[in-house]
């Protein structure tokens, strides 16, 4: 189950080949094989040696991989095909396959990269063969032009040379492709060859290794079908067996949990699969599935069929093998479901714990912000109180000082005195005389210090100091004549007699400033709270 955590398609073809060699020998999981191969610079020989020696963690295999000579490239594909098929038909190979009496192991096959299928020719030989290569290229171009002008000649020569009237082999001009494109080409040619609709047989649309991993990860049966167009039994097997209604229902039934993969040995990947499975006769079909009785990661062939066979016999063989293996697979599925359920339960518990922890953190954060806001409000309130107290102290000091400087009311002997009637904000009316030459500021100072002037003894006993340097007193009221309305502000200055005349009735109006507005708003909020 751990193999599904690694994406094999992200590896290069050389790396996939090294991984296939390592896992086929050591039978280890991908999660353990990939890190070791990465340490060994994807050298499968060093990784296998370190795996069985058990010192992969103590010895630095990367250094040895750098010092080790590169492995010799494999022989060409045609030689490998002949050699592998010859070996598979030998008695020694059949004895090694049947050793142990259990199900035959099904290796995971990764296609050999094209770069490793052919060995480059040394440079001196390529210089010596240059004239022959040029002659061959010219001759090939001439033949290509003739075949283009007379398209019937290649077919006639091919029949005369091979003596066959059936479809010719496509090996000569068959271009190697990656596993997914090879599978797409096989399905397209298969459908065109037998004139069937698309997806009549639900072949897997990837390579053999991808289908192998899919079946292993999801505990499904991998049905491998290998065909060889050169065999006379291929066409009857396809039409009478693979395309029979019983077989189509069998492979399309979801309860059977089948992954169908097919290929023709004309392709390199299918040929390598046939070599790995020791196929000696075509058409070939086998059923591969996970066998927990062998090991926790093994994939084995539980049923095989070589040569022509009827659909009933093939289905009977496969269904019997699946019934024998179903109990073990069902136990593994239940175990996986239990593990998944416990994993989901643990994830839900962890998620619930994380949500609870996040809620606690959020509550603590909100609490800290509220405390910080309260501290900020309290600090600002204390600062405003201190500013008000300091401003009130300055105003009080200035009023005591100014009250001592206000001239006394002139007596009756002063004929040109100005008589002023003032109505204070409290509603009290005050009548007082001022000297004609007195400035208008004197009248404002009288209103500002009226409450202090009611106790002249206190003013005379306590000599007030001069205001602090830089202090400028601002009057928070203005004197207004009601009818006609006229404002006597201090900005224009002037004497009382010149501005008001011999007498006047004035109203004291408050000027609402920013501080007064704040005090009024705070007073309103206090009233609402009560």
pLDDT in tens, 110-119: 876 655 545 5
pTM: 0.46
Q: Report yes or no: 239 and 79 within 8 Å, Cβ to Cβ.
A: no
Confidence of residue 328 (pLDDT cuts 50, 70, 90): confident
204 and 328: one domain? yes
In the predicted model, is pLDDT for residue 188 greater than 50?
Answer: yes
| pLDDT reported for residue 128 | 80
- List the CATH number of the domain containing 454: 3.10.20.90
pLDDT value of position 79? 39
What's the rounded mean pLDDT across residues 410-428?
Answer: 87
Residue 72 has pLDDT above 60, yes or no: no
Range of the domain at 441: 406-519
Q: Is 191 left (phi over 0), alpha (psi -120 to 50) or beta?
A: alpha
Domain assignment present for residue 113? The answer is no
Would residue 80 count as lying in a domain?
no
> Which range, of 212-226, 264-278, 326-340, averages the lowest pLDDT?
326-340
Residues 414 and 329 in one domain: no
Alpha carbon distance 111, 211 (integer Å): 13
SS3 category, 152? helix
Q: Per the structure block, which two tokens stand in for 488?
A: 């006597």
pLDDT in tens, 465-485: 777 788 888 888 999 988 888
- Confidence class of residue 521 from pLDDT cuts 50, 70 and 90? low
516 has pLDDT over 60: no
Is there a domain that residue 44 lies in?
yes
Final residue belonging to a domain, choices 22, 42, 59: 59
Please tell me whether residues 410 and 503 are part of one structural domain: yes
In a domain, 171, yes or no: no
Q: Which residues of 197-230 are buried (b: 16+ CB within 10 A; e: fewer)?
A: eeeebebbebbbbbbbbbbbeebbbbbbbbbbbb
From 339, 358, 377, the end of a domain falls on 339
How is residue 504 written in tokens?
């006047």
Clarify whether residues 323 and 442 are in a common domain: no
Number of domains composing the chain: 3
pLDDT at 334: 83
The maximal CA–CA distance of the chain, rounded, in angstroms, is: 158
End-to-end CA distance of the chain: 70
- With CA atoms as reference, report the closest residue to 110 among 13, 223, 10: 13
36, 59, 82 — which closes off a domain?
A: 59
At residue 53, φ and ψ (nearest 5 deg) are -75, -20
- Average pLDDT on 22-31 reads 76
* Interval 10-24 mean pLDDT: 81
Mean pLDDT of 263-288: 91
Residue 59 has pLDDT above 60, yes or no: no
- Do 457 and 326 lie in one domain? The reply is no
In whole angstroms, what is the distance from residue 530 CA to residue 528 CA? 5
Query: Given a cut of 60, is residue 4 above it in pLDDT?
Result: no
Q: Which pLDDT band holds residue 65 (cuts at 50, 70, 90)? A: very low
Q: Is the residue at 83 inside a domain? A: no
Q: Do 277 and 185 share a structural domain?
A: yes
Lowest mean pLDDT among 9-18, 97-106, 146-155, 491-500: 97-106
Establish if 281 belongs to a structural domain. Answer: yes
Contact 308, 233 (CB under 8 A): yes
* Model confidence pLDDT, tens digit, residues 134-173: 888 888 788 778 777 776 666 566 555 444 433 333 454 5
Quick one: 307 and 216 in the same domain?
yes
Q: What is the pLDDT of residue 51?
A: 76
Q: What share of the chain is helix, strand, coil (3-state, %, to 5)?
A: 55, 10, 30
335 & 410 share domain: no
Integer Cα distance of 183 and 210 in angstroms: 11
Q: Which of 40-49, 152-161, 308-317 has the highest mean pLDDT?
A: 308-317
The residue among 401, 237, 379 whose CA lies nearest residue 308 is 237
User: 345-373, pLDDT tens digit by residue?
Assistant: 999 999 999 999 999 999 999 999 999 99
- Give the model's pLDDT for residue 163: 41
3-state secondary structure of 398: helix
**What is the CATH number for 47?**
1.10.8
412 and 507 co-located in one domain: yes
pLDDT of residue 460: 60
Prior bond of 31 cis (ω within 30°): no
Q: Which residue has the higher pLDDT, 303 or 26?
A: 303
Cα separation, 287 vs 321, whole angstroms: 9
Is residue 211 located within the same domain as residue 306? yes
pLDDT score of 202 more than 90: yes
pLDDT at 528 over 60: no
- Burial of residue 171 (number of CB atoms within 10 Å: 0-12, 13-18, 19+): middle
Predicted confidence at residue 335, as pLDDT, reads 81
Give the CA distances from residue 492 to residues 150, 292, 501, in Å, rounded to whole numbers and listed in that order.
119, 108, 16
**pLDDT-based confidence at residue 498 (cuts at 50, 70, 90):** confident
pLDDT of 461 strictly over 60 = no
pLDDT higher than threshold 80 for residue 36: yes
Higher pLDDT, 263 or 47: 263
**pLDDT score for 522:** 53
CA angle 193/198/202 to nearest 5° reads 100
390-400: b or e for each residue (b if 16 or more CB lie within 10 Å)?
Answer: eeeeebebbbb
Q: What percent of the chain has pLDDT above 70?
A: 77
CB 210 within 8 Å of CB 4 = no
Whether residues 244 and 333 fall in one domain: yes
- pLDDT value for 253: 93
Residue 283 · residue 307 · CB < 8 Å: yes
| Vertex 192: Cα angle to 191 and 194 (nearest 5) | 70
Please report whether residue 387 resides in a domain: no
> According to the model, what pLDDT value does residue 68 have?
47
pLDDT at 174 over 80: no
Q: How confident is the model at residue 260 (pLDDT cuts 50, 70, 90)?
A: very high
Kindly state the tokens that stand for 423.
């109505």
- Whether 242 shows a pLDDT value over 90: the answer reads yes
Q: What is the DSSP string of 408-460?
A: PPP-TT-TTPEEEEEE-TTS-EEEEEE-TT-BHHHHHHHHHTHHHHT-HHHHH
Could you identify the residue written with the tokens 């479901």? Answer: 337
φ, ψ of residue 475 in degrees (nearest 5):
-80, 135
Residue 167 lies in a domain: no
pLDDT of 236 reads: 92
DSSP string across 331-366: HHHHHHHHHHHHHHHHHHHHHHHHHHHHHHHHHHHH
Could you give the CA distance from residue 444 to residue 490 in angstroms, rounded to a whole number?
8
Higher pLDDT, 184 or 159: 184
Written as six digits, the tokens of 228 are 């060889």
Give which of 118, 115, 134 is closest to 126, Cα–Cα. Answer: 134
Q: Helix H segments across 163-292? A: 179-194, 208-218, 234-237, 245-252, 268-276
**CATH number (domain holding residue 195):** 3.40.30.10
Q: What confidence category does residue 320 fall into, taking pLDDT thresholds of 50, 70 and 90?
A: very high
Torsion sign, CA atoms 167, 173, 178, 180: negative
Same structural domain, 413 and 514? yes
- The region, left, alpha or beta by phi > 0 then psi within -120 to 50, assigned to residue 220 is beta
Residue bearing the bigger pLDDT, 99 or 240: 240
Q: State the average pLDDT for the chain.
A: 79
Q: For the chain, how many residues are written?
A: 530
Q: What is the pLDDT of residue 318?
A: 93
């Amino acid at each position: 189950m751990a193999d599904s955590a690694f994406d094999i398609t992200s590896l290069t073809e050389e790396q996939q080949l090294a991984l296939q060699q390592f896992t086929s020998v050591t039978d280890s999981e991908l999660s353990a094989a990939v890190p070791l191969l990465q340490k060994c610079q994807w050298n499968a020989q060093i990784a296998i040696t370190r795996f069985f020696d058990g010192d992969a963690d103590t010895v630095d295999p990367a250094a040895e991989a750098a010092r080790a000579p590169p492995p010799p490239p494999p022989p060409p594909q045609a030689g490998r095909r002949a050699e592998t098929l010859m070996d598979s038909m030998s008695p020694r190979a059949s004895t090694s396959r049947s050793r142990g009496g259990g199900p035959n192991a099904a290796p995971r096959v990764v296609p050999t990269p094209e770069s490793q299928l052919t060995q480059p020719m040394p440079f001196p030989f390529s210089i010596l063969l240059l004239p022959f290569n040029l002659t061959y290229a010219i001759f090939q171009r001439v033949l290509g032009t003739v075949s283009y002008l007379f398209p019937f000649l290649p077919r006639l020569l091919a029949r005369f040379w091979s003596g066959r009237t059936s479809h010719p082999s496509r090996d000569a001009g068959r271009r190697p492709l990656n596993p997914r494109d090879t599978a797409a080409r096989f399905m397209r040619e298969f459908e065109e060859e037998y004139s069937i609709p698309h997806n009549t047989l639900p072949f897997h649309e990837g390579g053999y290794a991808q289908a192998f991993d899919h079946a292993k990860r999801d505990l499904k049966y991998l049905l491998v079908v290998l065909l060889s167009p050169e065999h006379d039994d291929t066409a009857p097997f396809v039409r009478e067996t693979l395309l029979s209604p019983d077989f189509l229902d069998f492979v399309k039934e979801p309860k059977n949990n089948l992954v169908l993969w097919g290929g023709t040995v004309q392709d390199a990947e299918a040929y390598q699969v046939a070599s790995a499975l020791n196929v000696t006769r075509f058409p070939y079909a086998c059923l591969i599935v996970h066998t927990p009785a062998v090991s926790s990661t093994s994939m084995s062939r539980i049923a095989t069929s070589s040569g022509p066979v009827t659909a009933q016999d093939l289905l009977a063989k496969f269904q019997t093998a699946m019934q024998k293996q179903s109990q073990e697979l069902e136990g593994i599925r239940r175990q996986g479901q239990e593990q998944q359920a416990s994993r989901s339960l643990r994830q839900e518990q962890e998620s619930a714990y994380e949500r609870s922890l996040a809620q606690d953190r959020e509550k603590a954060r909100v609490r800290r912000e509220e405390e910080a806001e309260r501290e900020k409000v309290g600090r600002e309130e204390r600062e405003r109180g201190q500013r008000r107290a300091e401003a009130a102290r300055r105003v009080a000091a200035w009023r005591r000082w100014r009250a001592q400087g206000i001239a006394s009311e002139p007596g009756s002997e002063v004929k040109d005195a100005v008589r002023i009637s003032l109505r204070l904000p409290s509603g009290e009316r005050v009548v007082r005389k001022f000297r004609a030459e007195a400035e208008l500021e004197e009248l404002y100072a009288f209103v500002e210090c009226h409450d202090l002037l009611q106790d002249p003894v206190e003013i005379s006993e306590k000599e007030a100091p001069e205001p602090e340097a830089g202090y400028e007193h601002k009057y928070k009221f203005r004197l207004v004549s009601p009818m006609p309305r006229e404002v006597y502000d201090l900005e224009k200055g002037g004497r009382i007699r010149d501005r008001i005349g011999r007498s006047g009735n004035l109203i004291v109006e408050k000027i609402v400033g920013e501080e007064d507005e704040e005090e009024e708003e705070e007073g309103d909020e206090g009233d609402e709270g009560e």
